[in-house]
Amino acid sequence: MANSQCISDATKMAKPRAFPSTGFEIISPDQQVEEERLPFYRREDYYPMRIGEVVRDRYQVVAKLGYGTSSTVWLSRDLREKTYWVLKVYINTLKHNQEFKVYKHLAEIAQKLPDELGSENVRRIQDSFQMQGPDGRHDVLVMKPLGMNLHSDNLLIALTSDAILSKVEENEINTPSPRKQIGDTIIYVSQYVLSGAGALTISDFGQARIGKEQSGNAMPVPYRAPEVILGMPWGPSVDNWSVGLLAWDMLEKETLFRVYDHESADKNDACHLAAMTALLGPPPPEFLERSEETQKYWDENV
């Protein structure tokens, strides 16, 4: 009988908490905040999440953690398992969810190679589903919360306990986040989980590719390999370039390369390649022959 009681207690759903409806800073409707400041932002593309909302009769949203051009990120408390999960809620205009595709691919690899070296340093999804919003359907990924790394948005730090997440939730109860309301949409100011003492974890695979040969732009601009800038076919070796630059950034005060021109991609590419040449010397002739784009930046006397 005691064992049955224990099982019953373990599976009993926790009650959702009540979050304050007053006591927070109200931001003027004329002031742009959070995702509103992103290029090409449209309010109707984003799911109008509310703090305190219970998703799928299970995940209660307790804080906003961040935003991007294709999603917003929320901390939730699992009322069934009594633990915390991150909900990444995508815009409803995303026709091809590359990140979800990559996560599924990584999950298949993890099943085939469970002991693969470094697998614990790659973020995984716990669950996925769709939500119906007022203007369309939204993909949602459920993931383990991670702490932020000040050096990179894609390299996060695993948390060793839920203590800091509980603190984030209590902050939202005791000191509610500033917010603005436009119609039925509330835009919250994010809280940031800055600490973590666990393993470095690779995350955010929206720009990741599957396969040995690729083409087109990829990678954050300062970490972009010359093959990518010059429109050459590229493969896994460009990751070696990015990892090397990331390691430099983590160890040194100044970056090797940066965004040089925010208005013109062509001018930025020219400055970026010039900085590479100044540091490494001119590229070998066989490299220049791989793309006609190289003629824009180097002449035959290289």
Q: pLDDT tens digits for 232-276?
A: 999 999 999 998 998 898 889 899 999 999 889 999 999 999 999
Q: How many residues does the chain have?
A: 302
Q: pLDDT tens digits for 79-134?
A: 999 999 999 999 999 988 999 999 999 989 888 888 888 888 889 999 999 999 99
Which comes out higher in pLDDT, residue 37 or 120?
A: 37
CB atoms within 10 A of CB 58: 16
The Cα–Cα gap between 225 and 219 comes to 8
Residue range 138-162: average pLDDT?
84
pLDDT for res 3: 44
- Tokens describing residue 213: 């040969």
- Tokens describing residue 39: 């290029």
Does 12 belong to an annotated binding site? no
Residue 145, class by beta-carbon neighbours within 10 Å (0-12 exposed, 13-18 middle, 19+ buried)? buried
- Beta bridge partner(s), residue 161: none
User: What is the H or E stretch that residue 103 is in?
Assistant: helix 98-112
10 has pLDDT over 90: no
- Tokens describing residue 270: 């020219």
pLDDT for res 27: 97
Domains, the chain, with CATH or none? 34-202 (3.30.200.20), 221-296 (1.10.510.10)
Percentage helix, strand, coil, to 5, in the chain?
A: 30, 25, 45
How does DSSP assign 191-208, residue by residue?
A: P------S-EEE---TT-
pLDDT for res 150: 56
CB atoms within 10 A of CB 290: 14
Contacts of residue 110, defined as CB under 8 A and 6 or more positions apart, other chains included, come to: 116, 119, 124
> Does the predicted TM-score (pTM) go above 0.85?
no
Q: pLDDT tens digits for 194-211?
A: 667 888 888 888 888 888
Q: pLDDT tens digits for 249-261?
A: 888 989 999 999 9
